[in-house]
Structure 1
Amino acid sequence: MTSINTAIQLITREDAERSVVRGGTCSPDLARGPWEFDLPAGPDAAPDYGPGASMQDVAPASTPRQGELPEEYRLAGDEELEARILAAKETLGDRLVILGHFYQRDEVVKHADFVGDSFQLANAALTRPDADAIVFCGVHFMAETADILSRPEQNVILPNLAAGCSMADMADADSVEDCWEQLEELFGTEPDDGGRLPVIPVTYMNSSAALKAFCGRNGGIVCTSSNAATVLEWAFERGQRVLFFPDQHLGRNTAKAMGVPLTEMPMWNPHKVLGGNTEQELLDSRVILWHGFCSVHKRFTVNQIEKARAEFPGVRVIVHPECPMPVVDAADEAGSTDYIRKAIAAAAPGTTFAVGTEINMVNRLAAEFPEHTIFCLDPVICPCSTMYRIHPGYLAWVLEGLVAGEVRNRIVVETDVANHARVALERMLAARP
C-alpha cells in the first residue's frame, strides 16, 4: 500500500518536474516536513495550522507552538526513524503506551498500540494503568482528555504541540461564557414545571478541556459522534433546549434525525449580539448550534456523491456526521469513524464504498479490506492539517527523550479544570442508549 505521505511526495515531485500544478493535493507544502511550519516566521507572525484541510482557517493567537525539532530528527530518513522508534519502544516496554488516531499518517499509526477515535483511545489508555507514559498521536484536545482520565502519575505526551484542532478552536471558553450569560439573561435560570432547566450545554469531544469543564459546572455533558443522539436525549430530559458546540453539523444532523425541525435550530455566531438571532428565535429553539465546523468534512459535497453514483452504479455512500447536512442527506448512511470501519468490515465481499471522511483513514480501509472497492469522495488529497503535524521525527524525539529519562511535550490539565471536565465525561459514560 502506498501511504498518503508517499503519494503526496510523488505527486508534487511530478508536478515540479513538469512545472504543472495538477491539483493532486490541496497544498504542495504537504510534502515538506511539518517542522518547517512549527516555528513562527518572525516575532509578530501569526500562528497557522499548516498545509492541509485547515490551512484557510484562522488560528487563534493562543495556538500552541512547537519548539525546534533537533536537526538529527529533521534530517533522518524514514528507515532510520523507524529503527529508532522501534528501539525506543523495545527499551521502554510496558512503561509506554502509544495511541494513534484513525486520521494519523501510516508512518506514525503503524507504531501505535491502540488505533481508534479520540474517546476510544482515551479509554484504551485506561487499560494500561501501569504505563508511565501515554504518547498520544492525535491532537491537543485528545491528549487533554487522556490526561483527565489517566492516573496523576502518568505522563501524557503530544509529540508535536502544534497539533491542535481548528474546529475545537472555533469555540473558546470566553466566547462560550459570554453566550451563556446572554442566554441566562434571556431564559432565566429557573426550571419549568417539569423540573427542566432552560438550557443544557453539550460539547462535542472535539473541544478543549476548559469547555468540557464548563459543561461539568453547568449541568452539561460531553458527546462523541457515535453517541450524540443518546446524549441529546439525556439533555432534553433535563433541559428545555440545548446549546451544542463546537460543531454545527454534528448537532444539526443528529437533532434533525431525532425529529427536531430546522426552524428550531438557530445558529449562534459568537461575534454577534444574541448570536445574530432574535429573542423569539432563541425562545422557540430546541437546539442552539454553535458556528463551528470541521474543515476536513466540509470539503465533501453533494456533487461528489452524484459523481460517485454515476461512475459506480450501486455504490454505497457512507459519510461522517460532521459533513454538511445536504451531504449527509444525499449519502446512504452517516456515522462515526468507528461506525464507518465496522460497516465496511461487515459488508458482503465486492461492495463498492465511497467514503466521506479523512483521507488517511480511507486509504487504510482500502488496504485493510481489499475484497471491497473503497475510495474517498474527495479526489484531492487533503489530510487534516493538524493531524499531519505528527511526524515520525517527533515520535522518535519524544520516545528517545523517555529513554533518556526526559519527558518532552507533556500535556497537563489543571486540577480544577480536570475535575469539572471529568464530571461531564462521566455523565456521558452513564448515558446509555
Structure 2
Amino acid sequence: MTSTIDPSVNHAIQSGDSCNSDLKQGPWFLDTPGMPDTYGPGASQSDPIPVHSPRQQVLPPKYQGLSDEELHQKIRDAKATLGDRVVILGHFYQRDEIIAHADFVGDSFQLARAAKTRPEAEAIVFCGVHFMAETADLLSSPEQAVILPNLAAGCSMADMADLDSVEDCWEQLTEIYGDEVLIPVTYMNSSAALKGFVGQHGGIVCTSSNARAVLEWAFERGQRVLFFPDQHLGRNTAKAMGIGLDQMPLWNPNKPLGGNTVEELENAKVLLWHGFCSVHKRFNVAQIEKARAEFPDVHVIVHPESPMEVVDAADSAGSTDFIVKAIQTAPAGSTFAIGTEINLVQRLAAQYPQHHIFCLDPVICPCSTMYRIHPGYLAWALEELVEGNIINQITVDAATADPARVALERMLSVVPLANGNTK
C-alpha cells in the first residue's frame, strides 16, 4: 500500500484540515507593525512568547507577491552566484520548498556539524530556528557569518527556560542540597545562554539521541540532575533507566520551590523543568489506538519529546534521525504511524512510497516557528549576500560562547545509543 499524502505541507494546508487558517497566509503578515507578539499559527500558537523575543523586519514587498517558481529561481540564481561562499542548512521540519535548496538536511546538531565541513563558506544560512543558529555560530569559525532568514523563527520550548529562572532554581536547589553534587543538563533545544550556564556549572548538553548516555555521564559525577527545558524527554529517558516517577518532580519556575516540598526535592534524582514541545504534545494514546484499529500491522514510532503515556503506548521512540533510519531500513510494504512534525512525516511518505506512512495527528499543524522560514525570506537573505550585505546575523558573545562550547564538547565525548532511544 502506498501513501497518497501530498508531500508538501504548504500545499496541503491550502485545501486540508489545518489547526489554523492563517497558515495559508505568507508569514510576513505577522511582521506587520502593530501585530501582537506571537510564535505564529501552528502548534505553538497558544504558547506565551517572551517579551524580549526578536521581531523580524517586514519582508521587502518585492518578495511577497512572487510565485513559488519565481522565488525558487531567485534562490537558484543567488546560490549559483555565491557558489562555495554560502552553505544552506535545512532542518528536518522545514517545508519542502526550503529543503529543495538545502545543501544539508538533518536535525539541529547534525546541521551545525555539517557546516564545519564547509570552512570555505563565508555565510551559513540556517533554515531552522534561533537556538540552532546559535549552535552553528558556536561551532563555526569566527570568519563565518550565521544567518537566520527570519529572526522570528524562535522555539517555544527553548523559551520556556530562561537564564534568570534557571539561576534562581539553581540557587534554591543548591541551598537545599548543600555539598551534594547537582549536575545541570540542558537539551540542545535551549538558548546559548543556558548552554553556557551548564558549561559553567559542570554540566552538559544532550540531544534526543544521546539523552540516556548523557544522564549516565551526569550520574557518574553527581547525585542529582536538573534537566531542562523539556520535561518529556527527561522523564521518558530517566524512566527507561529505572528511575521512579516519584523521584522526578516537576519544577515550575513560577512557584516557590518549583511547586514542591523540601521532602520531595530531597527524594529527587532527576528534577524536570516545566517545559515541552507543542508539536509533540499534540500526540495522544487515542490516536495510537485508532491507528492500530485501522492498521493491525502498524508500527507506531514517536519522538521522545512526546508525553510519557504516548511513548509507553508506541512500539518505538527515538530522535528524528532514528525515525528516518527506521523507515529507510524497513521491509517494503511496512505501515508506520509516526508521532513527530508533519513536514518530516509527509516527506518520508513521499520518499518511501513502498511503505504506508502517516502522521498520528490527523490535523495538519506544523511547528509554528519552522513555518516562519518561507522561500521569500531565503531568497531575500541570499540576494542580500550577493550584494555584499549580511542580514539577520546570529552571534553569541564570547562570555557565553566559551562555557557553552565546553558543554558541547562534553556532549561530544559521550557515546550515544545506536541510532537513538528505543523501547
TM-score interval for Structure 1 and Structure 2 normalised by the shorter chain:
over 0.9
Is the Cα–Cα contact under 8 Å of residues 39 and 66 in structure 1 kept in the other structure? no
State the distance in 2 between where 1:170 and 1:270 align: 9
State the distance in 2 between where 1:9 and 1:352 align: 27
The one-letter code sitting in structure 2 at the alignment partner of 1:34 is: P
3-state SS, counterpart of residue 410 of structure 1: coil
In the TM superposition, residue 39 of structure 1 has moved relative to its aligned partner by 3.2
**Residue aligning to 2:421:** none
The one-letter code sitting in structure 2 at the alignment partner of 1:87 is: D
**Residue aligning to 1:157:** 147
**Residue aligning to 1:19:** none
Match of 1:75 among 54, 57, 65: 65
Q: How does 1:117-156 map to 2 (within 5 A)?
A: 117-156=107-146
The one-letter code sitting in structure 1 at the alignment partner of 2:23 is: L
State the distance in 2 between where 1:352 and 1:72 align: 44
State the distance in 1 between where 2:276 and 2:100 align: 29
In the TM superposition, residue 41 of structure 1 has moved relative to its aligned partner by 2.0
- Percent identical among aligned pairs is 71
Match of 1:430 among 413, 417, 422: 413
1:3 aligns with 2:8: yes
State the distance in 1 between where 2:300 and 2:30 align: 35
Is the Cα–Cα contact under 8 Å of residues 39 and 65 in structure 1 kept in the other structure? no
The one-letter code sitting in structure 1 at the alignment partner of 2:260 is: N
Match of 2:32 among 30, 33, 39: 39
In the TM superposition, residue 374 of structure 1 has moved relative to its aligned partner by 0.2
Q: How does 1:59-208 map to 2 (within 5 A)?
A: 59-188=49-178, 190-191=179-180, 197=181, 199-208=182-191
State the distance in 2 between where 1:142 and 1:35 align: 21
Match of 1:408 among 373, 380, 391: 391
In the TM superposition, residue 122 of structure 1 has moved relative to its aligned partner by 0.5
1:287 aligns with 2:276: no
**Residue aligning to 1:324:** 307
**Residue aligning to 1:311:** 294
Hey, which bits of structure 1, 4+ residues long, moved more than 6 A?
none
Cα displacement string for residues 135-154 of structure 1 (whole angstroms, at most 9, x for unaligned residues): 00000000000000100000
Q: How does 1:342-357 map to 2 (within 5 A)?
A: 342-357=325-340
In the TM superposition, residue 218 of structure 1 has moved relative to its aligned partner by 0.3
Is the Cα–Cα contact under 8 Å of residues 7 and 350 in structure 2 kept in the other structure? no
State the distance in 1 between where 2:350 and 2:40 align: 27
State the distance in 2 between where 1:384 and 1:318 align: 19
State the distance in 2 between where 1:350 and 1:41 align: 51
State the distance in 1 between where 2:271 and 2:145 align: 37
State the distance in 2 between where 1:230 and 1:38 align: 41
Is the Cα–Cα contact under 8 Å of residues 7 and 349 in structure 2 kept in the other structure? no
3-state SS, counterpart of residue 292 of structure 1: coil
Q: CA RMSD in A?
A: 0.8
Q: How does 1:233-382 map to 2 (within 5 A)?
A: 233-382=216-365
**Residue aligning to 1:28:** 21
1:421 aligns with 2:404: yes
State the distance in 2 between where 1:248 and 1:424 align: 20
- TM-score norm. by structure 2 comes to 0.96
- TM-score norm. by structure 1 comes to 0.94
3-state SS, counterpart of residue 49 of structure 2: coil
In the TM superposition, residue 280 of structure 1 has moved relative to its aligned partner by 1.0
In the TM superposition, residue 203 of structure 1 has moved relative to its aligned partner by 0.2
**Residue aligning to 2:3:** none
1:232 aligns with 2:215: yes
Is the Cα–Cα contact under 8 Å of residues 7 and 347 in structure 2 kept in the other structure? no
1:57 aligns with 2:47: yes
State the distance in 1 between where 2:48 and 2:277 align: 13
Cα displacement string for residues 343-373 of structure 1 (whole angstroms, at most 9, x for unaligned residues): 1111111000000000000000001111100
3-state SS, counterpart of residue 99 of structure 1: strand
Is the Cα–Cα contact under 8 Å of residues 228 and 275 in structure 2 kept in the other structure? yes
Is the Cα–Cα contact under 8 Å of residues 366 and 372 in structure 1 kept in the other structure? yes
Cα displacement string for residues 13-72 of structure 1 (whole angstroms, at most 9, x for unaligned residues): xxxxxxxxxxx1000000000000123426xx4x11000000010001011100011000
State the distance in 2 between where 1:328 and 1:110 align: 32
In the TM superposition, residue 319 of structure 1 has moved relative to its aligned partner by 0.2
What are structure 1's unaligned runs of at least 5 residues? 12-23, 192-196
3-state SS, counterpart of residue 238 of structure 1: coil
State the distance in 1 between where 2:253 and 2:92 align: 31
State the distance in 2 between where 1:119 and 1:336 align: 12
1:389 aligns with 2:372: yes
**Residue aligning to 1:18:** none
State the distance in 1 between where 2:31 and 2:400 align: 27
3-state SS, counterpart of residue 73 of structure 1: helix
In the TM superposition, residue 2 of structure 1 has moved relative to its aligned partner by 4.3
In the TM superposition, residue 109 of structure 1 has moved relative to its aligned partner by 1.0
In the TM superposition, residue 117 of structure 1 has moved relative to its aligned partner by 0.3
